[in-house]
């Protein structure tokens, strides 16, 4: 089978397509004939320098049909279509997926729908839930055109947000995020860097909730965009710091959200979120958007798109 690995850290150019044997599923594992692979910013960052022993494989979101099951697997059968997070060779013709990380793909949904919806949708929904939203509250979503961000915009609207402000890095994404239901669109340079008079002059009313997937230098502007008592949920891997005084003066809160902790300690909650996502999808209230689908051999192109931050929705690799 084909798989993509890297033998040195660097940009998209270090990715290599290799030939290897099809793996056998071990205890609790499913072997998939991979149909779609979701490309994510955390995986792209690992290639740049994630500290993994080299050569390294690329894990990530996969969807496909089960072709073999390992010992001790219950609840899944050969021929079933599933999606989940793969920690081994995810960029490959065949992928091993632990059954605890797998969920069924319902009829009427494609493999591309699955990798665009489930993992990013779980992150977006979990981040929104972490803010403990109330009906009618206003929400700011940064990276609003990204794989998770474009779902966060739709989920906030579906969950009853009174106003959704989409923040994007380029004005070229404005029409896209408006098509998702965003009430207002702002660029990052329009966000206030601190509170006070500068925040009073920003082009939108302060919000109750800010969902930030960018981090870094955007954390302070996200906090400054909050109304008194507002909550920032940081769920990206971009790092950054927040001044305690900026929280204190407005009685604001900063909350961290990590999907891995929910998966590890609250699997029933994660399953409930999965069912909600598929329910909204089936009802036509949540539509994952795909920026581009590329063959496995063009993994480097997919990573370059993510690094350039030009994608509108999900970037997907299709081995078949």
Phi, psi of 270 (to 5 degrees): -60, -40
Which one, of 147, 114, 151, lies nearest residue 41 by Cα? 147
Domain boundary among the residues 242, 260, 278 is at 260
Cβ neighbourhood burial of 24 (10 Å; 0-12, 13-18, 19+): exposed
Q: How far apart are CA 308 and CA 249, in angstroms?
A: 36
Which one, of 130, 142, 128, lies nearest residue 223 by Cα? 142
Same domain assignment for residues 67 and 176: no
Chain-centroid distance of CA 210 in Å reads 16
Same domain assignment for residues 38 and 88: yes
Same domain assignment for residues 93 and 167: no
Same domain assignment for residues 125 and 87: no
Same domain assignment for residues 254 and 149: yes
281: in domain: no
Same domain assignment for residues 167 and 137: yes
Q: Which DSSP symbol is given to 146?
A: S
Same domain assignment for residues 7 and 41: yes
Q: How many domains does the chain have?
A: 2
pTM > 0.85:
yes
Which one, of 62, 55, 8, 56, lies nearest residue 40 by Cα? 62
Structural domain of 21: 2-105+289-318
Q: How far apart are CA 62 and CA 84, in angstroms?
A: 6
98: in domain: yes
Domain boundary among the residues 260, 278, 303 is at 260
pLDDT value for 242: 87
**Residue ranges of the chain with pLDDT lower than 70?**
194-201
Same domain assignment for residues 86 and 218: no
CATH number assigned to the domain comprising residue 138:
3.40.50.720
112: in domain: no
CATH number assigned to the domain comprising residue 85:
3.90.180.10
Q: Which DSSP symbol is given to 26?
A: -
268: in domain: no
Q: Is 28 strand, coil or helix?
A: coil
278: in domain: no
Phi, psi of 34 (to 5 degrees): -70, 130
pLDDT value for 108: 87
44 Cβ contact partners less than 8 Å away, ≥ 6 residues apart: 303, 306, 307
284: in domain: no
Same domain assignment for residues 131 and 186: yes
Same domain assignment for residues 219 and 131: yes
Q: In the structure encoding, which two tokens stand for residue 280, read together?
A: 């909204």
173: in domain: yes
Same domain assignment for residues 37 and 148: no
pLDDT value for 293: 97
266: in domain: no
Same domain assignment for residues 95 and 129: no
pLDDT in tens, 125-152: 999 999 999 999 999 999 999 999 999 9
């Amino acid at each position: 089978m084909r798989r993509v690995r890297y033998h040195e850290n660097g940009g998209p150019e270090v990715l290599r397509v290799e030939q290897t044997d099809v793996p056998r599923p071990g205890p609790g594992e499913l072997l998939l004939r991979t149909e779609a692979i979701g490309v994510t910013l955390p995986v792209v960052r690992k290639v740049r320098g994630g500290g993994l022993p080299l050569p390294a494989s690329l894990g990530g979101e996969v969807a496909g049909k089960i072709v073999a099951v390992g010992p001790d697997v219950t609840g899944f059968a050969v021929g079933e279509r599933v999606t989940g997070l793969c920690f081994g060779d995810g960029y490959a013709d065949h992928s091993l997926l632990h059954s605890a990380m797998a969920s069924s793909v319902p009829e009427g949904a494609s493999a591309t729908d699955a990798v665009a919806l489930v993992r990013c949708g779980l992150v977006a929904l979990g981040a929104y839930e972490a803010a403990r939203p109330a009906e009618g509250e206003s929400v700011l979503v940064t990276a609003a055109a990204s794989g998770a961000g474009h779902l966060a915009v739709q989920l906030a609207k579906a969950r009853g947000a009174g106003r959704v402000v989409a923040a994007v890095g380029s004005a070229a994404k404005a029409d896209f995020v408006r098509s998702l239901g965003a009430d207002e669109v702002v660029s990052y340079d329009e966000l206030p860097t601190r509170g006070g008079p500068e925040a009073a002059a920003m082009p939108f009313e302060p919000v109750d909730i800010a969902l930030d997937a960018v981090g870094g230098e955007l954390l302070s502007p996200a906090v400054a965009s909050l109304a008194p008592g507002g909550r920032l949920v940081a769920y990206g891997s971009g790092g950054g710091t927040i001044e305690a005084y900026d929280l204190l003066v407005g009685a604001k809160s900063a909350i961290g959200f990590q999907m891995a902790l929910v998966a590890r300690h609250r699997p029933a909650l994660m399953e409930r979120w999965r069912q909600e996502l598929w329910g909204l999808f089936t009802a036509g209230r949540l539509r994952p958007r795909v920026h581009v689908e590329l063959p496995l051999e063009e993994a480097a192109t997919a990573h370059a798109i993510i690094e350039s931050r030009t994608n509108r929705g999900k970037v997907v690799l299709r081995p078949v």
